């Protein structure tokens, strides 16, 4: 039974009085099922409306078979995913979320004319932004889908102004650095010098724009602007814009070296050094007054923690031991609820990934795993993430901020990859954070066809009652100085050897081995009592705490607190 509105049956196209609140094209089904019986309904709907005159497509839709379409879809995405990194973990929720979110970003791509446009999703975020697009390209780099990056890069060029500035939204100067980061990361994985030669004139114009912009700024940094989003809704010298400028300059140096232009390498390096000195002189003064906290703005108080969290990731702008790193983490942890960062008092599903990536670098393994599970607890049944909306311990309704969100997807994909395989300077780091639920006796962690800046690699970790054996396969084009293997925080290491029995020194819960190493044996004992930390336990903990909050609400009738105002 199909109705045009609740008051009129649908039989053919017709006009009807439709008000903003009128439900239109309502389908109503009445099924009478006996106990234990079941019935399946198949719904067929075109992605885009089909003209009533297009009888061929209408017949194709009518004859479509669900099982055939399902098998075709499953096969299609399976082939796409097999082209990149393969990750196998004992917890299926973790890897299924990885695969689903990589697919979500691929689904949001549009091929319009000659352009491949990376949008954020097919719903209200169906558009391109340098900020979201750069993170999605980074996820493709990390997972070995360089063909998608190469197709998308020309569209990034449409957002460079004649004066050299890369910008996709008014006032958001972080796009300058994010565009150069995207170009540099692609080269570091692809080693495509032809691409570097084609893009380098644009890089040169961009750097010259930054030089002139800094010269005209009273603080000699990225000019003050109103981003109208993210950190601020007022004009300020935005810390994150400056961090992204330094990140972009780092990648510009990489590209200049690839283009074999020594004069440009020296110029860009001088720009970076002088900029870094000026910026961190300002931030050190601010931090000395505020507990080593890096604020969102350099000259304006308040705002939302956002780009100021990018001090170690995606590029290390200071030493991991710098007090500004731990001071900022300590400060922003006060803004967490339900294990997630908040935005103006509302739960936000992906700001916190910046902090978790930082925790990998400073070796805060346990907190990184807690963050991972907090994110997973808040995913939908189809493993999708969203942006912002729910009040803490309230309805879990993110209103019209529809999932899946492509930036969440990209950050989750990058985080899981980096937990297992990541670059840091000239070293390759493995197993930066592991869950106890992945390392039980008999468990196996397997990573294959993993791209890195050094080349492809794979590893298989087989866990026993006494430790782990790690088998490595590497195909490095440029060898790392060391391979650093991190060991779980919940074990006491008794010793480690490489394949020929040579002992390896254990330092700060990690070992450093030569890039030619193939097999590593580590002997350990698990702490007793072992920590209870898994996806299943995280769900139970959340349900228990949510229930306690709800009972408090019923007892005293206190209203759910409202979002806070930043200004």
Q: Which of 258, 291, 324 is where one domain is finished? A: 324
Q: Answer yes or no: are the C-beta atoms of 120 and 406 closer than 8 Å.
A: yes
One domain, residues 316 and 432: no
H-helix segments, 216-261: 239-258
Residues forming a β-bridge with 470:
461, 520
Asked if residue 221 belongs to a domain, the reply is: yes
**CATH number for position 464:** 2.60.40
Query: What is the CB neighbour count within 10 angstroms for residue 228?
Result: 12
Cα distance between residue 413 and residue 87, in whole Å: 11
Q: Which of 287, 304, 324 is where one domain is finished? A: 324
One domain, residues 320 and 433: no
Asked if residue 215 belongs to a domain, the reply is: yes
Tokens describing residue 528: 């007793």
Asked if residue 230 belongs to a domain, the reply is: yes
Query: Helix (H, G, I), strand (E, B), or coil: what is residue 7?
Result: coil
Residue 378 exposure: Cα atoms within 13 Å on the Cβ side: 36
One domain, residues 171 and 314: yes
One domain, residues 444 and 305: no
Asked if residue 29 belongs to a domain, the reply is: no
One domain, residues 171 and 316: yes
DSSP characters over 528-560: SSPP--SHHHHHHHHHHHHHHHHHHHHHH-PPP
Cα distance between residue 245 and residue 175, in whole Å: 9
| Residue 238: burial class (beta carbons within 10 Å; 0-12, 13-18, 19+) | buried
Nearest-CA neighbor of 227 among 216, 219, 238? 238
Q: Is the dihedral of CA 289, 295, 297, 298 positive or negative?
A: positive
One domain, residues 181 and 295: yes
One domain, residues 436 and 314: no
One domain, residues 320 and 461: no
Asked if residue 209 belongs to a domain, the reply is: yes
One domain, residues 173 and 307: yes
Cα distance between residue 177 and residue 437, in whole Å: 38
Cα distance between residue 432 and residue 416, in whole Å: 10
What pLDDT, on the 0 to 100 scale, is given for residue 567?
40
Q: Answer yes or no: are the C-beta atoms of 365 and 486 closer than 8 Å.
A: yes
Phi, psi of 236 (to 5 degrees): -160, 160
What pLDDT, on the 0 to 100 scale, is given for residue 394?
87
Tokens describing residue 384: 């999708």
Asked if residue 533 belongs to a domain, the reply is: no
Cα distance between residue 290 and residue 308, in whole Å: 14
The pLDDT tens digits along the chain (567 residues) read 556 676 676 666 666 677 777 777 667 778 899 999 999 988 888 877 889 899 999 999 999 999 999 999 999 999 999 999 999 999 999 999 999 999 999 999 999 999 999 999 998 899 999 999 999 999 999 999 999 999 999 999 999 999 999 999 999 999 999 999 999 999 999 999 999 999 999 999 999 999 999 999 999 999 999 999 999 889 999 999 999 999 999 999 999 999 989 999 999 999 999 999 999 999 999 999 999 999 999 999 999 999 999 999 999 999 999 999 999 999 999 999 999 999 999 999 999 999 999 999 999 999 999 999 999 999 999 999 999 989 999 888 877 788 999 999 999 999 999 999 999 999 999 999 999 999 999 999 999 999 999 999 999 999 999 999 999 999 999 999 999 999 999 999 999 999 767 888 998 899 999 999 999 999 999 999 988 999 999 999 999 999 888 888 787 766 555 555 544
Stated pTM of the model: 0.92
Q: Which of 296, 324, 352 is where one domain is finished? A: 324
Query: Helix (H, G, I), strand (E, B), or coil: what is residue 5?
Result: strand
One domain, residues 185 and 313: yes
What pLDDT, on the 0 to 100 scale, is given for residue 541?
95
One domain, residues 292 and 440: no
Range of the domain at 461: 428-526
Cα distance between residue 156 and residue 148, in whole Å: 13
Please tell me the total count of domains within the chain: 2
- The predicted-structure confidence for 340-354, as pLDDT tens digits, reads as follows 999 999 999 999 999
Strand pairing class (455-464; 467-476): antiparallel
One domain, residues 164 and 307: yes
Residues forming a β-bridge with 456:
451, 475
Asked if residue 172 belongs to a domain, the reply is: yes
Cα distance between residue 265 and residue 207, in whole Å: 11
Cα distance between residue 115 and residue 155, in whole Å: 6
Asked if residue 307 belongs to a domain, the reply is: yes
Query: Helix (H, G, I), strand (E, B), or coil: what is residue 439?
Result: coil
């Amino acid at each position: 039974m199909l109705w045009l509105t609740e008051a009129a049956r649908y039989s053919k196209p017709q006009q009807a009085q439709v008000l903003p609140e009128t439900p239109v094209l309502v389908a109503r089904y009445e099924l009478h099922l006996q106990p234990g019986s079941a019935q399946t309904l198949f719904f067929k709907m075109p992605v885009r409306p089909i003209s009533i005159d297009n009888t061929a497509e209408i017949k194709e839709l009518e004859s479509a078979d669900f099982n055939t379409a399902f098998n075709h879809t499953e096969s299609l995405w399976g082939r796409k995913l097999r082209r990149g990194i393969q990750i196998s973990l004992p917890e299926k929720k973790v890897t299924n979320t990885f695969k689903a979110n990589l697919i979500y970003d691929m689904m949001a791509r549009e091929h319009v004319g000659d352009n491949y446009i990376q949008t954020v999703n097919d719903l209200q975020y169906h558009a391109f932004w340098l900020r979201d697009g750069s993170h999605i390209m980074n996820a493709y780099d990390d997972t070995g889908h360089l063909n998608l990056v190469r197709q998308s890069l020309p569209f990034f060029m449409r957002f460079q102004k004649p004066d050299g500035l890369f910008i996709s939204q008014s006032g958001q100067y972080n796009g300058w650095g994010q565009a150069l980061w995207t170009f540099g990361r692609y080269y570091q994985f692809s080693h495509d010098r032809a691409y570097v030669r084609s893009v380098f004139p644009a890089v040169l114009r961009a750097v010259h724009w930054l030089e002139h912009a800094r010269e005209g700024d009273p603080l000699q940094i990225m000019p003050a602007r109103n981003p109208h989003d993210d950190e601020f809704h007022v004009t300020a010298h935005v810390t994150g814009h400056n961090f992204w400028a330094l990140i972009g300059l780092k990648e510009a140096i990489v590209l200049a070296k690839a283009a074999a232009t020594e004069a440009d390498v020296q110029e860009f390096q001088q720009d970076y050094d002088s900029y870094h000195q000026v910026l961190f002189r300002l931030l050190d003064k601010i931090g000395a007054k505020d507990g080593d906290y890096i604020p969102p703005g350099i000259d304006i108080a308040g705002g939302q923690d956002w780009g100021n969290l990018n001090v170690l990731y995606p590029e290390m702008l200071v030493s991991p031991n710098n007090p500004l790193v731990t001071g900022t983490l300590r400060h922003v942890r006060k803004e967490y609820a339900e294990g997630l960062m908040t935005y103006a008092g509302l739960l936000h599903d992906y700001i916190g990934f910046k902090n978790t990536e930082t925790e990998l670098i400073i070796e805060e393994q346990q907190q990184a795993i807690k963050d991972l599970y907090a994110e997973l607890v808040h995913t939908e049944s189809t493993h999708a993430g969203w942006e912002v909306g729910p009040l803490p311990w309230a309805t879990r309704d993110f209103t019209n901020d529809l999932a899946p969100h492509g930036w969440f997807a990209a950050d989750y994909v990058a985080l899981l990859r980096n937990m297992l395989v990541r670059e840091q300077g000239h070293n390759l780091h493995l197993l930066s954070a592991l869950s106890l639920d992945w390392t039980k006796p008999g468990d196996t962690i397997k990573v294959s066809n993993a791209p890195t800046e050094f080349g492809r690699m794979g590893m298989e970790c087989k866990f026993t009652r006494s430790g782990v054996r790690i088998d490595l396969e590497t195909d490095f084009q440029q060898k790392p100085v060391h391979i650093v293997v991190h060991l779980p925080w919940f074990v006491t290491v008794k010793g480690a050897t490489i394949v020929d029995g040579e002992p390896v020194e254990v330092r700060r819960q990690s070992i450093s081995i030569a890039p030619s190493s193939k097999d590593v044996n580590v002997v350990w004992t698990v702490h007793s009592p072992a920590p209870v930390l898994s996806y299943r336990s995280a769900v139970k903990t959340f349900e228990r705490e949510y229930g306690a909050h709800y009972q408090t609400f019923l007892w005293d009738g206190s209203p759910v607190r409202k979002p806070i105002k930043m200004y």
